[in-house]
Amino acid sequence: MKMRSGFVSIIGRPNAGKSTLLNALIGEKVAIVTAKPQTTRTRIRGMVDVPERKGKHPATQIVFVDTPGIHKPASQLDRAMMQEIHEALMTRDLVLLLVDAVRKQPRAEDGGPLKFDRASEEAMAFEMIRQLDCPVFLVITKIDLVPKEALLPLIEGLSALHSFAEVVPVSAKKGDGLRVLLHKIAEYLPEGKRWFPKEQFTDQPERFLVAELIRERILMETGEEVPYASAVIVERFEEPAPPTKKPRPGTVLPLTRISAAIYCERAGQKAILIGKGGSKLKEIGTNARHEIEALLGTRVYLELRVLVRENWRDSRVFIESLDWRKQLEELAEREGE
């Protein structure tokens, strides 16, 4: 049966709502979300099937690729994050540029056209899309937080800066505009094969999702520099054996054993992560465990430890070790020995 499919890269400045939109479109939590900028550090794929719309498009599989926020890099980690964006733009059929409706947009003068500072994240984003030869949608996010009368001037101002294929205002929180966005994307994607099974909603392994859920709790429960200087690597992931028969109602769920290392850059950061008498680490672990249990559908025994690796954000080797694709390769090599 004829169908369409394609890869859709999502780009924008930090806190534009990319991960929130991705989760809302997929209907599953495939990307962690916090109020802190630079929460996303790598490309994250999420898949969704769009049913046929007669006269418009056949059934379509959209593979969304969420990316880190566009920013000026200051460390090796920042450069690696920006490289993730460039690689996502190299293998795409369509791009969504997200702009936060609540972010004040600069003007040359009252009533004049939008004009970004050359060094701004918005200017970097528009420079990126000008080099693309694929359809680009302008997606205005967080429209539930601004008056309706403020949207039209914003859309007109941004539309004057680039020839967008479509302009779609959305609210991921309320679900406004999401169906319109999905069907509009389906109209532009090429005919092609299904890239992933229909029941699959992300290509990320559970180990990576677990590490991200732990990092999400660090981002939410610590402040200052600690969240940005923290990285999580799952060292042990022991899944329970699959049941030989259907469990009876009330049966105790099986247990998954997980050990993870939290890396930071200084002893002072380690002290904050551990907290007085281990209180902060316990809080992080307890809250992360609840999220992980919901993800895995099992009970979870979670063991965390905190290690100092000075200036890891400027270590290319260490940053590469955080890539879940590389971690899977190393696991496969060890298992094959």
244: which residues sit within 8 A by CB, 6+ positions away? none
pLDDT tier, 252 (very low <50, low <70, confident <90, very high otherwise):
confident
pTM of the model: 0.88
Is residue 91 a contact partner of residue 132, using CB atoms and an 8 Å limit? no
The CATH architecture assigned to 206-336 reads 2-Layer Sandwich (3.30)
Rounded to whole angstroms, the Cα distance separating 197 from 140 reads: 30
pLDDT at residue 337 tops 60 = no
pLDDT at residue 278 tops 70 = yes
Is residue 235 a contact partner of residue 259, using CB atoms and an 8 Å limit? yes
pLDDT in tens, 88-117: 999 899 999 999 998 766 555 555 566 777
CATH number among 3.40.449.10, 3.40.50.300, 3.40.50.1000, 3.40.30.10, domain 4-188 = 3.40.50.300
pLDDT in tens, 132-144: 999 999 999 999 9
The mean pLDDT value of the chain amounts to 89
Rounded to whole angstroms, the Cα distance separating 217 from 287 reads: 7
pLDDT tier, 183 (very low <50, low <70, confident <90, very high otherwise):
very high
Rounded to whole angstroms, the Cα distance separating 106 from 117 reads: 8
pLDDT at residue 313 tops 60 = yes
Looking at 108-112, 227-231, 246-250, 285-289, which range is the least confident one? 108-112
pLDDT in tens, 27-64: 999 888 888 877 888 889 999 999 999 989 999 999 99
Sheet of strand 166-169, all strands in order from the earlier edge strand to the far edge = 44-50, 60-66, 4-12, 94-100, 136-141, 166-169
- Provide the pLDDT for residue 37: 79
pLDDT at residue 251 tops 90 = no
Structural domain boundaries in the chain: 4-188, 206-336
pLDDT in tens, 165-182: 999 999 999 999 999 999
15: which residues sit within 8 A by CB, 6+ positions away? 35, 37, 69, 100
336: which residues sit within 8 A by CB, 6+ positions away? none
Is residue 70 a contact partner of residue 79, using CB atoms and an 8 Å limit? no
Looking at residue 278, the DSSP 8-state letter turns out to be G
- DSSP secondary structure letters along 280-302: HHHHHHHHHHHHHHHHHTSEEEE
The more confidently predicted of residues 7 and 250 is 7
Percent of residues, the chain, with pLDDT higher than 70: 90
Mean pLDDT of 1-23: 91
At residue 298, φ and ψ (nearest 5 deg) are -135, 170
Residue 62's identity, in one-letter code, is: I
